[in-house]
Amino acid sequence: MKALIQDLVSQALAQLVADGVLDAVAAEPVIERTRDPDHGDFATNAALVNSKAAGMKPRELADKLVLALPTSEAVAGVEIAGPGFINFRLAAGASHALIPRILAAGEGFGRSDLGAGKRVQVEFVSANPTGPLHVGHGRGAAYGAVVADLLAAVGFDVHREYYVNDAGRQMDILGTSVWLRYLELAGEELVFPSNGYKGDYVWDIAATLHRHNGDAFRYPAAEVYAGVPADAPAGGDKEEHIDALIERAKQLLGAERYRTVFDLGLDTILDDIRDDLSLFGVDYQEWYSERSLTESGAVQRAIDKLKASGHIYEKQGALWFKSTDFGDEKDRVVVRDNGQTTYFASDIAYHMEKLERGFDRVIDVWGADHHGYVPRVKAALQAMGGDHAKLDVLLVQFAILYRGGEKAQMSTRSGEFVTLRELRKEVGKDAARFFYVMRKCEQHLDFDLDLAKSQSSDNPVYYVQYAHARVCSVLRQAQEKGFSTEISDGTTNLEHLAEDHEKALLTALAKYPEVVQSAALNEEPHQLTHYLRELANDLHTYYNAHQFLVADDALRDARLKLILATRQVLANGLALIGVSAPEAM
């Protein structure tokens, strides 16, 4: 409908240009839905933005524009208001036609092919597999998933990917932590490193290792700690301590057994993360291994490419990428003086490879704490001659949990929950998904646990779900009262929808495709949650003001059609944000 108005205005402007009133269209007009129903249904600022170029007052130009406007059956009235806005009032029949369209399209209503099948990759979560997903990862998961689903809904070919950091020091620390716990289970007495992973899950993995291998990986603690410098509590350095222990693990176990321990930790945790996300309604097309980048030679190829373009230099035994050539604040190491490539080197290779895979657009969803990382990744793409404009990094700010009006502690020590799994257990998947995307991503999120759990109208999730359930309930009632739940075809009987509440609901339904589009193109899922709340409100208000199951067959039929269409849109919107649409509550 918006497109129709847009078209009419464009035609009118073109007509004025043809008539010589305007030299050219100076600025594209904005067509928007009015906030105040007194202003009609749509408004455009076409006269305001072009008045200067036309050399006349906005209202004067508006007069000419209105005269040049082609007539349309859908438009019942046009008027000039305020400083020169042109307001459009739609014909009642035009909005009625929406209902059969919604009912016919079903789950497809609101979807479009705007993206024209362009390939978009969305990489999100990508947390290190060194432990279960934290509550902080939940927001990235929910946000990334909805952005991906929204883009898919408007016709992009979306590829969801999780980058698995299965190499590097953090993973070595995990492997070593598992092994040390295993030694303790086998009966060795040792002081666990302060920098090791201390979660219970490490004990679980160690127990599995022990069950499968008995004492085959066991060495006396004294031998393991031989030559290892003191830990921080003993006056040493915790980094040197853990690094030395990693070295001892590799020496004593040898490559093969070390890999067994390492992979057991990795696989166990990755399985847990996969399962966790899946239960959270988040699924991926691909889990991309960082290790594979080294094994395939992609990392070396990326470094060579940077070298060939002249942006690599050597200093103090290390290889540096001159990212300052592309606006970064300092140069970055890609190969350390010990010959090992850095995490950044892998990331350069990964992003190079993303573009090579032919995506039209690449979206990374990162925690806001990584923002300083953006310039160097873009710099690398630029240096390699890739199109860095194809990469979009969306930064998600922190979520803070509140319980009983107090900040909930999120540390393991306090005994409060820390994992996404536990959050899901406490508030449920639906509330968690909804709350995580309720705010735009650059907004710090206050996550009120009590509110998320409350079964009242204060809770937006229940409020929206209840609207859906309410329509289902009316249908059940209809059956009990002996009314037919078969509804008529097309726009039959819809002329009976003349109440203000009905018009408001129709307007809200018509907005849905526009909201989906806007939410998708701006990567703003919160637009959808806000819309759903408004739509639910319109339905509840209507419900309170009018009886649906009336004796008059035609009127009842019309009202049932309207609420069925509303139910469909509520279900479609909820599905997009990964929340269920219950039939009863």
Residues 21-60 that bind RNA (CB under 7 A): 30, 34, 36, 38-39, 43, 45, 48-49, 52
Cβ neighbours of 41 (radius 10 Å): 24
- If the CB atoms of residues 151 and 539 are measured against RNA, the closer one turns out to be 539
- If the CB atoms of residues 157 and 514 are measured against RNA, the closer one turns out to be 514
Chain positions 130 to 169 lying near RNA, rule: CB under 7 A, are 165, 167-169
Q: Does 322 bind RNA (CB under 7 A)?
A: no
Output the CA–CA distances (angstroms, integers) from residue 207 to 133, 158, 186, 264, in the order listed.
21, 40, 9, 11
Sequence letter at residue 425: K
- If the CB atoms of residues 217 and 465 are measured against RNA, the closer one turns out to be 465
Q: Does 404 bind RNA (CB under 7 A)?
A: no
Q: Does 312 bind RNA (CB under 7 A)?
A: no
Can you tell me the distance from the alpha carbon of 13 to that of 175, in angstroms, rounded to the nearest whole number? 68
Q: Does 329 bind RNA (CB under 7 A)?
A: yes
Q: Does 411 bind RNA (CB under 7 A)?
A: no
Q: Which residues touch 375 (CB under 8 Å, ≥6 apart)?
A: 323, 326, 327, 328, 329
Query: Per CB under 7 A, which region of 177-185, 190-198, 218-226, 519-527 contacts RNA?
Result: 519-527
Query: Taking the complex as a whole, how short is the minimal distance between the CB of residue 218 and RNA, in angstroms?
Result: 28
Structural contact between residues 573 and 532, judged by C-beta atoms closer than 8 angstroms: yes
Q: Which residues touch 517 (CB under 8 Å, ≥6 apart)?
A: 112, 114, 154
Q: What's the alpha-carbon Rg for the chain, to the nearest Å?
A: 30
Query: Taking the complex as a whole, how short is the minimal distance between the CB of residue 131 and RNA, in angstroms?
Result: 12
Q: Does 203 bind RNA (CB under 7 A)?
A: no
Helix (H) or strand (E) holding 300: helix 298-308
Q: Does 326 bind RNA (CB under 7 A)?
A: no
Chain positions 360 to 379 lying near RNA, rule: CB under 7 A, are 368-373
Query: Per CB under 7 A, which region of 105-113, 131-139, 211-219, 544-552 contacts RNA?
Result: 544-552
Q: Does 473 bind RNA (CB under 7 A)?
A: yes
Q: Does 284 bind RNA (CB under 7 A)?
A: no
Query: Taking the complex as a whole, how short is the minimal distance between the CB of residue 522 and RNA, in angstroms?
Result: 8
User: What's 337's DSSP letter?
Assistant: T
Query: Per CB under 7 A, which region of 62-70, 82-90, 110-118, 138-146 contacts RNA?
Result: 82-90
Answer for which of 208, 300, 324, 397 binds RNA (CB under 7 A) is 397
Chain positions 435 to 464 lying near RNA, rule: CB under 7 A, are 439-440, 442-446, 455-458, 460, 462-463
Report residue 97 as tokens.
Answer: 């036609």
366-397 burial code (b ≥16 CB/10 A, e <16):
bbeeeeebbbbbbbbbbbbebebebbebbbbb
- If the CB atoms of residues 228 and 395 are measured against RNA, the closer one turns out to be 395
Q: Does 479 bind RNA (CB under 7 A)?
A: no
Q: Does 499 bind RNA (CB under 7 A)?
A: no
- If the CB atoms of residues 358 and 404 are measured against RNA, the closer one turns out to be 404
Answer for which of 21, 53, 82, 203 binds RNA (CB under 7 A) is 82
Report residue 332 as tokens.
Answer: 């970055």
Q: Does 63 bind RNA (CB under 7 A)?
A: no
The DSSP result for 362-408, as a single string, is EEEEEEGGGGGGHHHHHHHHHHTT--GGGEEEEEE--EEEEETTEEP
Can you tell me the distance from the alpha carbon of 574 to that of 580, in angstroms, rounded to the nearest whole number? 6
